Amino acid sequence: MATATFAKMPSGPPKEDTNGPLLAGEHTLPASWWTSEKIFDLEKRAIFYKSWMYTTHASRFQKAGDYYSYTVAGINFFIIKSKVDGKLKAFHNVCRHRAYPVVRKEKGSSTILGCKYHGWSYNSDGKLNKAPHFDNVEGFVKEENSLFPIKTHTTEQGLVFVNFNSDESENFISFDKWFEGLNVELNEFDFNDYEYHMSYELDGQFNWKTLMDGYQECYHCPTAHPGLSTAFKMETYKVVPKSRYCRHYAEIVREEVEIEEDNKDPDEESSWFGFGKKKAAPVEKKVEKKVNPGGEFNGLWIYLFPSNGVNCYSPAWYSIRVLPLSATHTILQYDIYTKKGLDEESKKEFVDFLQLVELEDFNLCQLTQKNLNEGIYSSGYLHPQKERGVLYYQGVVRDMVKAHFEKETKAGRQLNPAFVGRNSKNQSIQELEAICDSVECGSGSDKSLDW
């Protein structure tokens, strides 16, 4: 396989003095935050309905009308390539008539989307196209019945993010501010040189944070991932918190390989990062030492708050999306993109390696969560350096949850940032919603605090 070309070689981790005494660590958040459905509901409002979340790569949308549907933290939506301006747009998968899902397939292609309940249809820009028999209905305004849009951002590298927050005020944090500096780091990898290969999912009986805890450190790698030691020097693994994302660094094993002096292509037969097969011994006597070309790229591994990651290697990159269904049920979704022209064997080698490591992590989570559920353990001490990424992301979780909880306490009701359904024109609806508030019947944004 050939080595990838990059805009520039990756920056190294910042130099740190690791010889002196370490600063004090801190404890994890309490275990109840990994098991309580009430806390999970609060996390949805405080975190998942306010954050910019990685979803997919733009290269998967070839032509106008191509769409994919998703469910993230209980919200169903789809992303479609608009025929109007060619941009990727996200909409809640909720018909404006009586709330039936407009899109019912995982993926498809159509520039007109018809609701299969009463036949309303929408164009690829979310605008209501037709509402049968409504033409002469007094007061009905087509333009006021477009699909509810969801904020999207596609980076210049093609990474597509959504944000469910319906806040249109100046308090809303733009993508560039949310992930300040991310764009520069993403430019270290040539995403254009890769194409979609495959996806797979794992169904986990654990909290979303159980997976993120393991993802955000490699303290567990020597014990839990013995195979990884052939790929990089685990003692050099470092997680550096940035602006709601973390860059993971590690020195790769720059394996010296013996090659023939007149070797035709040093890439041939070499494995990437030392994973998988080793280079065969040379047949000629005349050899020289060369650095393994598969190991020249240190990788671009990025954790994206709250529950996503993008990991780029030479032969492939993949995304992981950690999709919570409840406090103790989480889907792990992996999309793999391989280097254009990469041979099938190398693709398989990458997928096999990835699946092995991810399964090792998955099994750690399954058993950890069982103990968290038991109610014996509450909190543990974290290493200030080796678990710095865990400290960082749990700190962001804590701060966002606390801030939102205080807001709700002050307001005396639940506040759902994703809620878009309030019909401000209809006074009677507001009146009826208010009744609901007082009896806690739960209408999205105004359900009273019941905990």
User: By the criterion CB under 6 A, which residues form the site for ligand FES?
Assistant: 95, 97-98, 100, 115, 117-120
| Cα 10 to Cα 5: distance, rounded to the nearest angstrom | 12
Minimum CB distance to ligand FES, residue 146 (Å): 13
Minimum CB distance to ligand FES, residue 132 (Å): 8
Select the binding partner of residue 122 from ligand FES, Fe ion, none (C-beta < 5 to 8 A, by kind): none
User: Measured from the CB atom, is 98 or 402 closer to ligand FES?
Assistant: 98
| Cα 417 to Cα 415: distance, rounded to the nearest angstrom | 6
Minimum CB distance to Fe ion, residue 225 (Å): 6
User: Measured from the CB atom, is 102 or 364 closer to ligand FES?
Assistant: 102
User: Measured from the CB atom, is 97 or 447 closer to ligand FES?
Assistant: 97
| Structure letter (DSSP) for residue 406 | H
| Cα 54 to Cα 305: distance, rounded to the nearest angstrom | 9
Select the binding partner of residue 413 from Fe ion, ligand FES, none (C-beta < 5 to 8 A, by kind): none
For residue 83, count CB atoms less than 10 angstroms from its CB and return exposed for 0-12, middle for 13-18, buried for 19 or more.
middle
- CA 121 to chain CA centroid, Å, is 31
User: Measured from the CB atom, is 180 or 358 closer to Fe ion?
Assistant: 358
Phi-psi region of 322 (alpha: psi -120 to 50; beta: other; left: phi over 0): beta
Report the helix count and the strand count for the chain, using DSSP H and E. Answer: 8, 19
Query: How many beta carbons lie within 10 A of that of residue 262, not counting itself?
Result: 7
| Structure letter (DSSP) for residue 69 | E
Q: Cβ(102)–Cβ(119) under 8 Å? A: no
Select the binding partner of residue 254 from ligand FES, Fe ion, none (C-beta < 5 to 8 A, by kind): none
| Cα 249 to Cα 118: distance, rounded to the nearest angstrom | 53
Minimum CB distance to ligand FES, residue 145 (Å): 10
User: Measured from the CB atom, is 134 or 405 closer to ligand FES?
Assistant: 134
Question: End-to-end CA distance of the chain, in Å?
Answer: 57
Minimum CB distance to ligand FES, residue 101 (Å): 9
Interface positions with Fe ion (CB under 5 A)? 214, 361
User: Measured from the CB atom, is 120 or 215 closer to ligand FES?
Assistant: 120
Take residue 269 and report the two structure tokens written for it. 């037969």
Minimum CB distance to ligand FES, residue 73 (Å): 23
**Residue that has been written with the tokens 């990469």 in this structure:** 342
Minimum CB distance to Fe ion, residue 220 (Å): 6
User: Measured from the CB atom, is 93 or 292 closer to ligand FES?
Assistant: 93
User: Measured from the CB atom, is 115 or 391 closer to ligand FES?
Assistant: 115
Query: How many beta carbons lie within 10 A of that of residue 130, not counting itself?
Result: 15
Angle between helical axes of 208-215 and 344-374 (0-180°, round to 10): 120
Classified as helix, coil or strand, 360 is helix
Select the binding partner of residue 115 from ligand FES, Fe ion, none (C-beta < 5 to 8 A, by kind): ligand FES
Select the binding partner of residue 361 from ligand FES, Fe ion, none (C-beta < 5 to 8 A, by kind): Fe ion
Classified as helix, coil or strand, 169 is coil
Select the binding partner of residue 381 from Fe ion, ligand FES, none (C-beta < 5 to 8 A, by kind): none
| Cα 394 to Cα 207: distance, rounded to the nearest angstrom | 13
Minimum CB distance to ligand FES, residue 144 (Å): 15
